[in-house]
Structure 1
Amino acid sequence: MADLTTQFLDLPVKNPVMNAAGVWCSVASQLEALAESAAGAMVTKSCTLQPRDGNPEPRYRVLDGDKPFGSINSMGLPNEGFAYYLRYAQRHDYEEKPLFVSLSGLTLDDNLTMIDSLKDAVTPAILEVNLSCPNVPGKSQIGYDFESMDTLLAEVSSGYQRPFGVKLPPYFDMAHFDEAAEILNRYPLVAFVTCINSIGNALVIDLASETTLIKPKDGFGGLGGDYVLPTALANVNAFYRRCPNKTIIGCGGIKSGREAFMHILAGATLVQIGTSLYEEGPGIFQRVLDELSAIMDEKGYATTEEFRGKLKTL
């Protein structure tokens, strides 16, 4: 049987599979379900300084009428507020699995306030700063504003003074890969990069009713599932190549061991499941792990390290 254990920032991890921020991680009962699941690690809902109700319903729809399988959402960062997730982080069992705390402050000051509190709490939680929230009306994504991204990373590095990571939006231009990577590589404390958040501002139309599927932003929302897999793989591989001193977490389009294998082959150390976890629940982790192990056995790989980042080109 394949050995699925891995290392993340020098931490032993039982396996490379975890949830995506925002899915099955909004309240303590969901986080406890993740802690009890087969996932090797887990991440909290990207949170703001104060609680938020998020956007009006309907704000999430699964796109399951035909293949491919996917989702569209415009959640608007509904969350219980930073203090809620910090309290959970302080009682989490870190010997069982690592916990990431994802922050998505609406302002730079909000992010710095939360980061100071997380630092003062002296918890083993791993900090992830979400630079990609495509579904908050009136708020642009920091990951697409390279000047603001540089400023934020400088401030966080100075204030936090320990390794942390960032979650990025999808990029679509080689020049943007180059520019984003150049900024990330300026900051040694940026230890990991999560690729990708949903593809923002998609529009899905219900043909029968001639309406949008979701209500916020006139139906514009983030696309997930099968639709984003090729873009996610491209971003994982692009940053794996350009940021050799940083660890990559892959997210986007994973619904089976097959996609998990592809993400690792492209360069990911850990892989996150979003849309499929939303639909299937935490039982998906064991299924994906069993399928990933079977693929590795078939290909003759004993560990994920043997093929991570070994994507061949023609």
Structure 2
Amino acid sequence: MPDLRTEFLDLPLANPLMNASGVWCSVASQLEALAECAAGAMVTKSCTLAQRDGNPEPRYRATPWGSINSMGLPNEGFPYYLNYARCHDYERKPLFMSLAGLTLDDNLTMVAELREAVTPVIMELNLSCPNVPGKAQVGYDFEAMDTFIHEIADAYDRPFGVKLPPYFDIAHFDEAAAILNAYPQIAFVTCINSIGNGLVIDPVSETVVIRPKDGFGGIGGDFVLPTALANVNAFFRRCPDKKIIGCGGVRSGEQVFLHLLAGAALVQVGTQLFEEGPLIFPRLLEELQAIMTAKGYDRITDFQGKLKTL
């Protein structure tokens, strides 16, 4: 069988799969299920400094082509996830901790505590939450994004990563990459968060399908695969010294293969993990191996990042 083992930031992983932040990772019991499942790595829910209930229900709806959500960052608060990180068994698999402070000061407070924690947890700075009413995405304001990263890099003495929103313009790929490349401390880039402010309408009831923001929410699943692949490949090409984590539109081994081909080092699963639970990972790995076998690939590095153009 093809070898699915890989490395990320010099850490050995059994395979390149992990959950997307926000899915199956809000409480300790879910995190433990991820720790015990077949995924090669795992990430916590993006956390704020204090606990948040998030937006009113219904705030998630599956559709035939994916999902729409406006969760509003419900989470147990930074101390909860830091405590989990201190107790996590890193021999089983690496743990990423996602920070999404509502202000720069909140982020700096969390970073200072994380810096002092004696734990090998990998920090990810979420610059791309699209579903907090009244809060713009930092990743779409390049001046603010540069300021955020500069302050975090000054306050944190270890490599870290950033989670970005989807970009849709070549000039924006160029501008975002220039900022990221100015900070050697940024070791990885996660692409993408959901496509913000989509609208799904029920034609029978003639209503929106989620309550927050008058029905506007982040789009995930099949809807976003081409956009996710474009962002993965764009930053893979523009940020050669950084690892790319692909996220968006993964529901079979074929989509995992496409993310890896486009340049992803790891591949996250969101919407479909929400629907199937952690048992999705053995299926995805088996399907990925079947594709690799059919193509004659023995290991991931045989095709990773080797997307051909016409």
TM-score by length of 2: 1.00
C-alpha separation between the residues in 2 aligned to 1:92 and 1:295? Answer: 33
Question: For each residue in 1:259-305, what CA deviation from the matched residue of structure 2 results, as whole angstroms up to 9, or x when unmatched?
Answer: 00000000001000000000000000010000001101110111111
CA distance in 2, matches of 1:98, 1:183: 27
Residue number in structure 2 paired with 1:197: 193
Q: How does 1:276-287 map to 2 (within 5 A)?
A: 276-287=272-283
Query: After superposition, where does 1:283-302 map in structure 2 within 5 Å?
Result: 283-302=279-298
Structure 2 unaligned residues grouped into runs of 5+: none
Alpha-carbon distance in structure 1 between the residues aligned to 2:160 and 2:74: 23
Does residue 83 (structure 1) correspond to residue 79 (structure 2)? The answer is yes
Question: 244, 251, 255: which is aligned to 2:251?
Answer: 255
Say if 2:286 is the partner of 1:305.
no
Q: Within 2, Cα distance between the matches of 1:303 and 1:112?
A: 40
After TM superposition, list the pairs within 5 Å mapping 1:107-122 onto structure 2.
Answer: 107-122=103-118
The answer to whether the aligner puts 1:28 opposite 2:60 as a matched pair is: no
Asked whether 1:12 is paired with 2:12, we answer yes
Which residue of structure 2 aligns with residue 137 of structure 1?
A: 133
| Per-residue Cα deviation, 1:23-58 (whole angstroms, up to 9, x for no partner) | 000000000000010000000000000000000000
- Give the alignment's TM-score, normalised by structure 1: 0.98
Q: Distance in 1 between matches of 2:70 and 2:160?
A: 27
Distance in 2, Cα, partners of 1:149 & 1:122: 28
Farther off after superposition, 261-270 or 153-162:
153-162
Name the SS for the 1:290 alignment partner. helix
Query: Between Structure 1 and Structure 2, how many residues are aligned?
Result: 310
Cα distance between partner residues in 1 of 2:209 and 2:137: 23
Deviations 1:54-79 (A, max 9, x none): 00000000003xxxx30000000000
Are positions 1:126 and 2:126 aligned together? no
Shift of residue 162, structure 1, vs aligned partner:
1.0
Q: Which amino acid aligns with 2:28?
A: A
Residue type of the alignment partner of 1:72: I
In the alignment, structure 1 residue 157 sits paired with structure 2 residue 153: yes
Matched, 1:216 2:212: yes
Unpaired runs of 5+ residues, structure 1, are none
- Pairing 1:95-106 to 2, within 5 Å after superposition: 95-106=91-102
Q: Give the aligned CA root-mean-square deviation in angstroms.
A: 0.5
SS in 2 for 1:193: strand
After superposition, the C-alpha distances for 1:125-147 in whole angstroms (9 at most, x for unaligned) are 00000000000000000000100
Instruction: List, as ranges, runs of 4+ consecutive aligned residues in structure 1 with deviation greater than 2 Å.
Output: none
For residue 122 of structure 1, report the CA deviation from its aligned partner.
1.9
Secondary structure of the residue aligned to 1:234 is helix
Matched residue, 2:221: 225
Q: Which residue of 2 aligns with 1:3?
A: 3
Percent identical across equivalent pairs?
74
Q: Distance in 2 between matches of 1:99 and 1:271?
A: 14
